[in-house]
A and B are shown apart, each in its own frame.
Chain A
Amino acid sequence: MIEMQDVYKTYPNGVVALNGINVRIKQGEFVYVVGPSGAGKSTFIKMMYREEKPTSGNIMVNGVNLAKLKDSKVPLLRRHIGVVFQDFKLLPKLNVYENVAFALEVIEESPKVIRKKVMEVLDLVGLKHKIRSYPNELSGGEQQRVSIARSIVNSPKIVIADEPTGNLDPETSWGIVELFEKINDRGTTIVMATHNKEIVNATRRRVIAIENGKIVRDEAKGEYGYDASYV
């Protein structure tokens, strides 16, 4: 579960990115975060995995207050949260298998467990046949699948994605969203910032709209609500 209470964020350069956020996301929900460019969506998401600290307010994730979390405990938090980005963040010199295994090596899993779990998730994302390929030999959609596989290989309770379809064509984007729905069906919370109007309108999930650092709309089966796909 994720809960924010009166969260404010002012960057060192004086930009107020979050201006009083109160929100509650239950375990197993699928949430889209929408809003114009520069509204604070990425900042909102960064709060959840402690990439940024709030200037004031509390953020509870899985029962831990991130506002008070010590720096040295951040790695432990990250092991329970999967993160996916627009630019995939794969290591170009590791192949598909190694890129996914990386997340388990880092937490010192045994090689046997690593093998089993990596093969499981690669099967889930449909890339079992490409385990020896390198990122530059894969399409954008395939790279994003690898990145998603890496984010869930730890079986986290929450997966956070910041514009995961931003670099992908519409058809490939659909494949990625379907994958997220599959992961959500297993009980994992999904929080996804997006500019993709078609997908938000078609899937009808909870939509949180942010403008100028404030939540201006929060609907259970919401719509994208902005005209162009890229605002």
Chain B
Amino acid sequence: MTLHTFKRHVRESIKSLGRNGWMTFASASAVTVTLLLVGVFFAVMFNINHFAQKVENDVEIRVHIELTADSRQKDALRRRIEAIPNVKEVRYSSKDEELKRLIKSMGDEGSSFRLFEQDNPLSDVYVVKAAHPQDTVKIAKQIETLPFVHKVNYGQGTVEKLFDALKVARNVGLVLILGLLFTAMFLISNTIKITIFARRREIEIMRLVGATNGFIRWPFFLEGLWLGLLGALFPIAALSIVYYNVYEVYEQRVSLPFFELLPFSPFMWQLSGLLLAIGAGIGIWGSVMSVRKFLKV
């Protein structure tokens, strides 16, 4: 393709947006509505996911070692834990370190535990992390059966419930987003189909004067691209403003310690990029699909 031709395609596709006035508006609006919904869902989903990952990464198994175990037996236990599949990391924490941690975590009241520094009642601990947080429960169950294990602690019950809830939330979100995208594609391909139906004469004439299918397709392809990008502008602006304000208010007024929002930058840039890409994708898909049946010889 020559540069002149490419310029022509770009020019034609932009002119055509203007010529098809309200159709352009309708198609871009379809993209806008969809991306607005998809964008909100993505913003919620990514934050939930971020929260979930944080929680998941904080989940660890604390293996309390029998007080009677000597250092050789402790080593043997460590090796056996490490041999369990999907164990990512095993860290040793002596009972003195455990006490310090306890005192620290108690804050002001912690000082009363200082009394125990002379005669520490705690056990030494192996802190175990799973390669995939979901395996935590399984690994913990296996460790329980090993010799010289006094007790295994991983937030029994709570962890299982949390993982189940996160799984449901993710799946529901995914289904909703897929559903939305399909609705949008359907809407757009229909709108563009109407535009093209009105333009079948133009396609017919192009073919009469010897245009190749590729040549005919280009302006439609570009037009779909513009429609998608145009439709993405408003959702990106709206979401950015809303997210910026929500983030500011949350950080300054609410701010719960266990839940943090993804910071505006880079998250909003990534989300904007994603929305632009999705907009372009459905725009192009819609127009290419609808022009296809007019190109049969």
Contact = CB atoms under 8 A, between A and B. Distances in A.
A and B physically associate:
yes
Interface of A: 49-50, 71-72, 74-79, 83, 89-91, 93, 102-103, 105-108, 110-111, 150, 154
A102 B205 contact: yes
B1 A93 contact: no
Among B209, B212, B215, the most chain A Cβ lie within 10 Å of the Cβ of B209
A49 B297 CA distance: 12
A50 B210 CA distance: 11
Rank and list the top 4 A-B pairs by shortest CB-CB distance, nearest first. A78-B210, A79-B210, A103-B209, A106-B211
B8 interface: yes
Interface string B1-24: 110110010000000000100000
B198 to A, nearest CB: 11
A89 B215 contact: no
Contacts, number: 55
A78 B208 contact: yes
B207 interface: yes
A33 B202 CA distance: 28
Contacts of A78: 207-210
Contacts of B206: 102, 106
15 contacts: A72-B213, A74-B297, A75-B207, A75-B212, A75-B213, A76-B210, A89-B201, A91-B201, A91-B202, A102-B209, A105-B8, A107-B209, A108-B4, A108-B215, A154-B210
Contacts of B75: none
Contacts of A107: 209-211
A140 B1 CA distance: 36
B204 interface: yes
A75 B1 contact: no
Given A74-B297, A89-B204, A91-B202, A108 B2 contact: yes
